[in-house]
Amino acid sequence: MDSRITVEVNGIKIDLPKGATLGDAIQASDAPYREGNSVGILKRSDIEQDENLIEYRIMTTAGEFMIELFTKDSPSRKRWTEKFEEYRNIPLRWSSRDAIAFGPFVSDMAQKRGAGIYREYQVLFAAAGGDSHNTHLIISKDKHSAEYGAPEEGAFGKIVSGKSVLDNLGKKDSIIGIQPVTSWKQTGEHVITTDRATILKDGEKVFTYLHVVMSPESPLGAEHFFALIRTGSFKVDMVSSSFISDHTLIGELPPYENYEPRSRGNVFLRTVGYGAGKAFISTDDRTASILHSVVGHVDLGMELVKMAEAGHKLLVNTTPPRIMLHGKSFQEAETELAMFGVKLNREGDTADEALIVSQEPDTTIEILREGTVRATGVDGSKILSIELYDDTAPITMDFFRHAIGLQFRPIGVLPLVMMYENTYIFKAEKPAEKYKEILPENTPKKKVIAGEIGVTNQAAKRMGMVGVKTKDDDLFGPTGEKFISTNIIGRILDMEKLQHFKEGDKIYVIERNREGTHGQ
């Protein structure tokens, strides 16, 4: 009896003892994984699947991309499915603004004379000069017309992921491998789970994360997506036949930047109207929309996206990773930026230990494009550390983070507008109370503890005011309102710093916990 099994983890085969668990596979493969995120398991099927294969992963010396075959039968489609292994190790022959070509190789192709019209990212065979011994694999990069010597049927497939690799290919590059990808829809049975004790069986495929390549055309949209996945996860709030969506930042209005088809694997944002701020990942091809801006593309892990169910969280890695300097010391920032070859210019308090409170440019894509960033630092004594109670005041948390900027950055700004006796009153610069609800929640019962942060709710005229007291109070909340009009949202961890501030000062606050369970 065989005491070993073979499984795939994110496309890499590993050998494990029989009875091994999902956790064993993750550890043995050193796969990207984070506790609480869901992992997809594609079960082994005894049914022969080759005739149903429609996706192929093409590995090149410059990276990999994936093609999907058109469903319509054609001689080119048949030629690919029967002979794709023969196209390994063929070099890049030429590259232009419109297309690239790998070859040459010998085929039995009958070519059509005359120019053809080709759409972006289509894949086709072509016999240059009508010579079947001079056949090439052509990949269109943009919509154009050309006389390649293609067959009557034209293209037989399209690129569905890894499109950015096409721009990186050069004369010295070549195809080094082609691998068919079995769709979970063909194999049928799959499991998505957070249970690392799940027993694996021979032949199963495990997917632990998805990788998103951010679009250089969407610098602001990319920051919206980075903020959405700041804890590392895409939270699946809705699943439809053509997408999954995360509603974490609904109500935040990302700009419209990139008009592009919502192709399978594309990540896009709703920019206006009902549901603005939602993030989507396409599981099917859809046309471009004036309501949705494309910000990236899933390069790896679409299998996990297809398996996703509402309520699950999916681990996400991105290229490039986010460059967010807020809250870091200049010394830490310079170490991080050195990895990207980016120069840091210091402003404000320029000491190594000073903490950064702003950066210019403000987006990752622009920073990488310019190769330099200006950052402003302040002494740590001017930054308050706060702990927020997400579980007891979720509606007020949405208002508070939006109003002071914590939805998108680790550091927020709270102007100090009033001081009296043992009370400090703040008013956020962004008037979020005009369009965000502040319903009564987590209101004090007997007394308010010194250091607790309160927000005036909709039961009082001064809704949206933020306050804190330096002494316990059994009559009024941190903003001076009655208990019923006060929502307790967290606490300041270093109250002694408040004595250094005066009315009119901008106070920076840094959130020390993101998902803790606290409250009265």
Q: DSSP secondary structure string, 389-431?
A: -TTT-HHHHHHHHHHHTTTT-SEEEEEEEEEETTEEEE--SS-
Interacting residues of 209 by C-beta distance below 8 A, sequence separation 6+: 10, 31, 32, 33, 37, 300, 301, 304, 314, 315, 316, 317
- Of the candidates 253, 250, 282, 285, the residue with the CA atom closest to the CA atom of residue 267: 282
For the chain, the structural domain boundaries read 4-49+183-207, 51-181, 210-319, 330-378, 382-511
Backbone angles phi, psi at 151, to 5 degrees: -75, 175
pLDDT in tens, 105-126: 988 877 677 788 898 899 999 9
- Alpha carbons 296 and 315: distance in angstroms, whole number: 16
The predicted pLDDT at position 450 comes to 95
The predicted pLDDT at position 296 comes to 93
Strands (E), 72-219: 92-95, 99-105, 116-118, 122-127, 135-140, 144-146, 157-161, 175-181, 190-193, 205-207, 210-214
Which H/E stretch holds residue 491? strand 486-492
- Alpha carbons 307 and 190: distance in angstroms, whole number: 7
Give, in words, the CATH class of 4-49+183-207.
alpha beta
Beta partners for residue 39, in sequence order: 193
Beta partners for residue 464, in sequence order: none
- Alpha carbons 17 and 23: distance in angstroms, whole number: 13
Q: Is 145 exposed, middle or buried (0-12, 13-18, 19+ CB in 10 A)?
A: exposed
The predicted pLDDT at position 358 comes to 94
Q: Report residue 138 as tokens.
A: 């052509």
Q: Report residue 439 as tokens.
A: 């319903």
- Of the candidates 212, 205, 228, 211, the residue with the CA atom closest to the CA atom of residue 278: 228
- How many Cβ atoms sit within 10 Å of the Cβ of residue 83? 12
SS (H, E, C) 346-397: EEECCCCCCEEEEEECCCHHHHHHHCEEEEEEECHHHEEEEEECCCCCHHHH
- CB distance 181 to 57 below 8 Å: yes
Q: Please indicate whether the domains covering 51-181 and 210-319 agree at the CATH topology level.
A: yes
Give me the CATH topology for the region 51-181. Cyclophilin (2.40.100)
- Alpha carbons 140 and 99: distance in angstroms, whole number: 4
Q: Report residue 450 as tokens.
A: 């010194």
The predicted pLDDT at position 183 comes to 55
Residues in the chain, pLDDT under 50: 46-51, 186-187, 515-520
Question: Is the whole-model pTM more than 0.85?
Answer: no
The predicted pLDDT at position 385 comes to 94
Task: Report the SS3 class of residue 306.
Answer: helix
- How many Cβ atoms sit within 10 Å of the Cβ of residue 161? 25
- CB distance 520 to 444 below 8 Å: yes
Q: Which CATH superfamily is domain 210-319 in?
A: Cyclophilin-like (2.40.100.10)
Give me the CATH topology for the region 382-511. Cyclophilin (2.40.100)
